[in-house]
Structures are given as C-alpha cells and as structure tokens.
Amino acid sequence: MSEQKKNFLDSRIYPVLFMIIVTVIFVGMLATFYQFTRERVNLYQKEQLNITILQLFDLPTERLESNFQKFIQAKEKKNLKYYQAVKDSVILGYCFPISGKGLWGRIDALIALTPDLSKIIELEIIEQNETPGLGGRITESWFKKQFENKLIISNEVVQAFELISEGESNNDRQIQQITGATASSKAIVDMIYNNVKLIKEFGI
C-alpha cells in the first residue's frame, strides 16, 4: 500500500494534479473575495469619480453626495454621457469621460470644457496601463496642466496639438511630450482630438 502511494507521489501526474487542485482553491478564494468586495469597490470608484468631477471645476468636495447633487447634473444625448457643472444658476462647463488607445492598453480620462466647448478647463487621467517611469508619467501634474485653458475648438474646427520636446517653450498649439514616451504622449493628444471631435458632432 505504502509502495503504491510512494509510486504515485513520484509519478509525473502528481505535480500536475497538485497544481490543478491548488489553482482551483485559489481561484475559488479570489472569486469569493471579489463577490464580497465588489459592491464596496464600485462605491469607492463612484465616489472617486464624483470627487474628480467636482475638482475639475474647483468645486467643494466635502459633503460629497450633497455637493455633487447641488453642482453637477448628469446628462445624456444620443448615447453621449456627460456632466454639466452649475453654480449659482451659471453653467461652469461640461465634463466628458473620454478614452483612447495607449501603448499598452486603453487610457480613460475626464476632460472639462468651457460652456461653449472652445477651451479645455482641465484634464484628468483616470486609468492607464503605460510603462511606469515613462508613459506612466502622463498622470504627472506638469504634463496634464499643459492642456489647461488651451483652445481646442476655433472657428468651429477642432484643433490638433503639436508635440515638442520636453523642456522646450511651448505656445497655445504645442504640448511638451514626455521624454522617452512619445507614443504615450501622442496617445493623449490623439485621444483629446478624436473625442472632442465626436463631442462637437453630437452638438451639446
């Protein structure tokens, strides 16, 4: 009996079977953990999104739920979802969820535009999978701040930004790219251009 057990432990099938059992156990544990935490994670993501939208328009984030309902109105037009920021009955601007293709995957962002959609108020990167230390630097403040107050629609035409080297002086139509991450920098510029073009076509 012990000889048969020993032979089985030494067989080629034993490690394969062992790995299958261990994998099933851990997958089951992860699935269970996901089910228990999914609602909490979704709530956290929603709260972070609401905070970011308020911050884009320099609105207060304390008492999050009440302030979001007070200042932000969720809108939808022809399947285009967006947010309208209003304070003291004055429209501050519009916030649009946008996305594009990065070097290693999808990039999700929020872009806030002036009421006439002509200028970028602010840009915030929500999720990205770019290379850490290179393309991942698209989340750095200096890079994102370059887009603030930039004219994006002029004479009914969506404007495309030109990439220049990091550190160079830039004008209203230029953006300093991240050194060693031209593809990721271009992905942001293209994402803004393509999405604003769609937004204009929808006619908010």
Phi, psi angles (nearest 5°) of residue 158: -75, 130
Integer CA distances (angstroms), 29 to 36, 50, 110, in order: 11, 31, 34
d(CA 113, CA 91): 11
Mean pLDDT of 158-166: 95
**Residue recorded with tokens 């929020």:** 110
Confidence of residue 8 (pLDDT cuts 50, 70, 90): low
**Phi and psi angles of residue 166, each rounded to the nearest 5 degrees, phi first:** -60, 130
The residues, ordered by sequence, that sit 6+ positions from 138 with a Cβ below 8 Å of its Cβ are 107, 125, 128, 130, 144, 178, 181, 184, 185, 187, 188
Q: What does the pLDDT average to over 119-140?
A: 97
pTM of the full predicted structure? Answer: 0.81
